[in-house]
Chains A and B, each alone.
Chain A
Amino acid sequence: MKQYRAHLLVCAGTGCVSSGSFKVKEALEQEIARRRLQDEVQVIATGCNGFCERGPIVMVQPDGIFYQLLKTEDIPRLVEEHLLKGRPVKKLMYVPPAEDKPVPKMKDIEFFKHQRLIVLRNRGRIDPEKIDEYIAFDGYEALAKALTEMTPEAILEEIAASGLRGRGGAGFPTGKKWAACAVQKRSPKYIICNGDEGDPGAFMDRSVLEADPHAVLEGMIIGAKAIGAAKGFIYIRHEYPLAIKRIDIAIRQAREYGLLGTDILGTGFDFDLEIVQGAGAFVSGEETALIASIEGQIAMPRQRPPFPASKGLWGSPTVNNNVETWATVPNIIRRGAKWFAGLGTDTSKGTKIFSLVGKIANTGLVEVPMGISLREIVDGIGGGVPGGRAIKGVQIGGPSGGCIPAKLLDLPVDYESLTAAGAMMGSGGMIVMDDKTCMVDLAKYFLNFLRDESCGKCVSCREGTQRMYEIVSRITDGQGTLEDIALLEELAAAVKDASLCGLGQTAANPVLSTLRYFRPEYEKHVVERRCPAMVCKEIVSAPCQYACPIDQEASSYIGLVAQKKHAEAFRVIRKDNPLPSVCGRVCSRPCESVCRAGEIGEPIAIRALKRYVLDWAREKGLDAPERLPVTRPEKVAIVGAGPSGLAAGYELIKKGFAVRILESLPVAGGMLRVTIPDHRLPKERLQDDLDYLVSCGLSIKTNMTLGKDFSLDDLFRQGYKAVYLATGAHKPLEMGVPGEEAEGVLQALEYLKDHHLGIPVSLGARVAVIGGGNSAVDAARVAFRDKRVKEATILYRRTRREMPAYPEEIEAGLEEGIRIEYLTAPVRIRTRDGRVVGVECIRMKLGEKDSSGRARPVPIPGSEFQVPADTLILAISERAYTPYLRESDGLTLSPEWGTIIVDPASMATTRPGVFAGGDVVSGPSSVVEAMAAGKAAARSIEAYLEGRPFVRVNEVTRPACYVEPVKLTEEEAQNTKRARMPHLPRGKRRSGHDEIELGFTGELALKEARRCLRCELETRDAKNALGRET
């Protein structure tokens, strides 16, 4: 035999073939021939290696180097470096996510490390089309042993003793099944291999058939000997051409070698095999349907008993096992039942192959010992959910399996545990889902599959799956009711109970298990008309509008900008937003974080587009207010002229009420005015919005402090019929570090407020800011613009990735010269003569994730260091502050947070006629959330004043009107990059407080707006409105 110094094992499983492994193999062979290495190096095509995510894959033996994601252009370099110069190519090796060092050897890669290969022992190591290679790795040794040394009874005993259970899903003991058939006196008897693998996302059987066809053959011949069959069938679905081809080759080779046919190995035993191709019906995988299909009839299951073991194919005793079961048999015979029984759990022995797919870093095929926890498979082998998202659950067992929620991930994987948890082993499909998976939609997906694949015989299954699909569709369309959920549950139970075969009996599982673990998600769909995962498009419409607390129809006005209809775009924005100039600059943009364009590239710059429209409208003088007439007798007082109070006021004057806002500061605008710096939100722009509101008829009185200048009772005495409290949350939290009371220690919000109100603040040359939020960055940047300040440093205890401040603000701050010390926490404030001189800090490292999902910082002992500072600004956090309230006011406060307690729907406090909202209720939140609270309170106040109970109406999200989409060029459609907004040059920044972001030009705005995917046009309503087919 020819000796080679190296073998290149090219994966030729279906996964790698479709990612181009045959081309890679061809390129390898050409390059090797070009380098005249063909006598030293051999290229071999192997079966599926399992790590399909990384295909095409090449293994170099004997070094064990693992190359992945190969392209034909990588090949010359690989051959030259590795095979000629002996230097493995690092660039083509596997790099684990979140690390930067490549792992050269296959055995060290996490994906392979935790697997236990028995059935798949030959995967990626032999050429499945060469029987000699199989024989070289102990192939057909078990067959020889079974035929020459063992009686049929001995084989049966061995299989029974091994504890092997069927790998097709139901887990019936294989030994018992064989014995039941062996005792039958009638002949002929038949052996069947079930390779009709039809679960979406499952490809275990295909892989075994492709990677090691002889193992299946060997198992079947042993089984035939055990029960006394002379003929066997391998049933493979015709969608698996490569598997069929390789099994066909294997059968021919086995016949040639005398391993099939008459007088096998000279023992006088006759057995032969035939391939039957399935026509693609999922139900054919059911035993009795499969037998009917081989007989040439419609694949329709029939009642058992009689079981196939006594009355199967053509009425003869038949043993039918799954591909994986057959491939396990030779291993048991060769290595002994005792060895096999030593693997796995008490009731589930050996290993099981799973196809790990869905939202998982390492997609592929894994073989693990039974009893391993789901977490080990998902996190250990699978590498967890990519993109740092949270895992929501794992769907196991194919379409009729069930969902295991994330909280049960420590569940051991064996037949009993999975069934008890409402799932099933099934054939071994494992679909990992993250928080972007809607469980109701998932159930709908599987029901749609099942209503197609039900054979249609039983009423329960045929009508049941169809009706369940209709109900679940109603729910995902936002039309469901609570009765629908109850009916769904009742129907699911009946379908499970009344159906004939495994398909029907488990067809309700997708519904039952999602209802069992994710019922609140169903209820959210029907009660609140919300889809938390933002998947159900008939509910969500456009995610940007769905996520916006004040229901801004972003995709509509973006669509109008794309058509250059700026005036109309402006009206769409104005309709729902009392402070558009403000929102166009400082909104926290919940819309952009859920933008679907962000899933494939960068999200649309929605805020910047809004600002563009507003700037355009102001220039054109379009934002002309119209005085709103007072049409109702009741007067309403609002305390606090921040975003929440202003929004509530505007909504109320639109409804015809007379409204007066009372503000304790000398200026209106609240936090917008006194804490957000001018370089982010110029005073003039805020004033634009305020002027508009005042011109509409909103009355704002400043320098009026509740509790000092007036009381709640005074307001009612003065004839106000309702009061809305929106006083905000601005009491700084204490840091709990010694020295906080020293001179030179400032609170960020106090400092910013004094700065904006023109009150002198004494600042030293070196300013340190503690915190990582927007106010920390704001304070540092404002201070750094002060002539007295020479350096400004932010101390933050986590890394930049965790910083809550907006990334563009951090970036701009760094550009301006702010320093940020990450992973730094203060221990003590150093003082001299009562004045701050610096901070003693300690280095942190990131530890386990806490409840907020962020990594918890842990101090590194002994890493203390000094940060000198003349002024220290604390920007930790704030809490609601209500010193103005008296016992007699009759309001209730949260003992924990100091916030005012209200009914979440109506925003009513415990005192009739008094409502509250914004930060004083929620604690520190965003501008847009505060505005949403104001708008909601206005609706509730209206109901209160009309003397009717307030009912919140939950409707699916829809824009007021639909805007035609624009036609894109091919190049535009490919554009996933966001347009960059021009910024104030760095040199001009420190000298003043001018706005940094200059806004889109018309050209940039148009380009950006045209990028929008217009998700809102996907609903049926939209298609009807625009006259498109649904």
Chain B
Amino acid sequence: MIELILNGLCVKAEEGWTVLETAKFYGLEIPTLCHHEGLTEFGGCRLCLVEIGERPRSKLVTSCTYPAEAGLVVRTDSDRVWSARRMMIELMLSTAPGSKVLQDLASRFGVTKVRFAPRNDECVLCGLCTRICAEQMDARAIGFQQRGHKRTISTPFDLRSEVCRLCGACMYICPACQLRCQGPNAETALCNACLTMEPTCLEHYDDLQCWMYDAGRCGTCVRDKKS
């Protein structure tokens, strides 16, 4: 067993666990998007960021890929983590505003404005589809193309794939193109229609996660952490 400090508490983790797995084991919720238990870790959506190390030399890493190390100091809900997470949600939402998954994330994390022009790409390049295709369906019909801002997901040479069995796993797992936000103006903007009830709470601690986080979550920290 490995001992590490998680939100100020000394916890034990199994050898080979990631920080995300450790946090989940202790009931802490860390939002994820490109992570899926049946697939290899990717670390692309940057939602599961946590702050590691002693301040001021601490840094942000993705908890889904970071191994639990002995003596590691982890903060899952610091202000720094939250502001980075919010920006990631804002960036993703601006590329795929129709996604209910992203709209819900925005509501949950108090993203109240999207300041980038919406693009309606309906894809955030999380790579879940390419991984499920390769790892679970053993097809490798689709993959990433290009790099940087030109990156897309497609079949080789954009031709109809001979190995694709039309199984639909890629659609099933997609967080952006399948489940649509039903809000009034979801195609172009932030919806914020659901999950916006926000009772007030009393205090906020940088090191602690609210005990209600995993349950209905009260949203207090959201209000508190709104800059």
Choose among A460, A491, A499 the residue with the greatest number of B CB atoms under 10 Å from its CB: A460
B147 and A455: CB pair below 8 A?
A: yes
CA distance A456 to B126 in the complex (A): 10
Shortest distance in angstroms between B188's beta carbon and chain A's nearest beta carbon? 17
User: Are B60 and A458 closer than 8 Å at their CB atoms?
Assistant: no
Q: Which residues of A contact B62 (CB under 8 A)?
A: 303, 500
B165 at the interface (CB under 8 A from A): no
Contact of B92 among A305, A306, A456, A463 (CB under 8 A): A463
Would A459 and B116 be within 8 Å (CB), given that A454-B147, A497-B80 are in contact? no
A132 proximal to B (CB < 8 A):
no
- Please give the distance in Å from A1019's CB to the nearest CB on chain B: 22
A466 near B: Cβ within 8 Å? Answer: yes
Contact (Cβ within 8 A) B91 A470 = no
Q: Which residues of the partner chain A approach B148 to less than 8 Å between Cβ atoms?
A: 450-456, 462, 465-466
Judge if B57 is at the interface, Cβ distance under 8 Å. no
Interface size class of A (residues with CB under 8 A): 35 or more
Give how many A-B residue pairs fall within 8 Å (CB-CB): 98
For B67, list chain A residues within 8 Å (CB). Answer: 305-306
Nearest-neighbour CB distance to chain A for B192, whole angstroms, equals 19
Closest to A464 in B: B91
Cβ B87 vs Cβ A490 within 8 A: yes
B73-96: which residues lie under 8 A (CB-CB) from chain A?
Answer: 80, 83-84, 87-88, 91-92, 94-95
Q: What is the minimal beta-carbon distance from A307 to any residue of chain B, in angstroms? A: 11
**Chain A residues positioned under 8 Å from B132 (CB to CB):** none
A936 shortest CB reach to chain B, Å: 35
Asked, given contacts A303-B61, A494-B87, whether A458 binds B44 with beta carbons under 8 Å apart, the answer is: yes
- Select which of B44, B87, B117, B149 is within 8 A of A451 by beta carbon: B149
Give A299's nearest chain B residue, CB to CB: B147
A984 within 8 A of B: no
Question: Nearest residue in A to B89 (C-beta to C-beta)?
Answer: A459
Q: Mark B139-161, 1 if CB is under 8 A from A, else 0.
A: 00000101111110000000000
The answer to whether A460 touches B149 (Cβ under 8 A) is no
Give the docked Cα–Cα distance between A469 and B147 (Å): 16
Cβ-defined contact, B144 with A452, below 8 A: no
Chain B residues closer than 8 Å to A460, beta-carbon distance: 46, 84, 87-88, 91
B207 at the interface (CB under 8 A from A): no
Closest Cβ of chain A to B127, distance in Å, is 8
Per-position 1/0 for B6-45, Cβ under 8 A of A: 0000000000000000000000000000000000001111
**Of A281, A456, A467, which contacts B125 at CB under 8 A?**
A456
- In the complex, the chain A residue whose C-beta lies closest to that of B61 is A303
Taking a contact as CB atoms under 8 Å apart, the answer to whether A467 and B42 are in contact is no
The reply to whether the CB of B213 lies closer than 8 angstroms to some CB of chain A is: no
Query: A31-70 CB contact bits vs B (8 Å, 1 = yes)?
Result: 0000000000000000000000000000000000000000
A283 within 8 A of B: yes
Question: Once the chains are docked, how many angstroms separate the CA of A748 from the CA of B103?
Answer: 76
Task: Say what secondary structure dominates the interface of chain A.
Answer: helix
B60 touches A457 (CB 8 A): no
Q: How far is the CA of A490 from the CA of B83 in the complex (A)?
A: 9
Q: Which of B43-64 contact A (CB under 8 A)?
A: 43-46, 49, 59-62
Residues of B within 8 A of A456 (CB): 125, 144, 146-151
Point out the residues of chain A lying under 8 angstroms from B94, CB to CB.
463, 467
**Contact between A462 and B61, CB atoms less than 8 A apart:** no
Assess whether A761 is interfacial by the CB under 8 Å rule.
no
B87 touches A491 (CB 8 A): yes
Asked if A457 meets B43 with Cβ closer than 8 Å, knowing A281-B147, A463-B95, A465-B149, the reply is yes
B211 CB to nearest A CB, Å:
27
Hey, which chain B residues are within 8 Å of A462, CB to CB? 125, 148-149, 151
Is A298 an interface residue, CB under 8 A from the partner? yes
Contacts of B46 in A (CB 8 A): 458-460, 498-500
Closest CB of chain B to A291's CB: distance in Å?
A: 16
Indicate whether A800 reaches chain B with its CB closer than 8 angstroms. Answer: no
Q: Is the CB of A497 within 8 A of B60?
A: yes
Contact of A454 among B91, B95, B149 (CB under 8 A): B149
Report whether A457 and B44 are in contact in the complex, using a CB–CB cutoff of 8 Å. Answer: yes
- Flag if B149 contacts A452 (CB, 8 Å): yes
Name the one of A298, A302, A459, A491 contacting B124, with C-beta atoms under 8 angstroms. A459
Contact of B3 with A by CB under 8 A: no
A459 vs B151: C-alpha distance in the bound complex, in angstroms?
A: 11
A487 at the interface (CB under 8 A from B): yes
Residues of A within 8 A of B69 (CB): 305
Residues of B in contact with A (beta carbons under 8 Å apart): 42-46, 49, 59-62, 65-67, 69, 80, 83-84, 87-88, 91-92, 94-95, 115-117, 124-125, 127, 144, 146-151
In the A-B complex, the 7 residue pairs with the smallest Cβ-Cβ separation, listed nearest first, are A456-B151, A494-B87, A303-B65, A463-B91, A466-B149, A454-B148, A498-B84
4 new A-B contacts at CB < 8 Å, known A298-B144, A469-B149, A500-B43: A302-B43, A302-B65, A497-B60, A498-B84
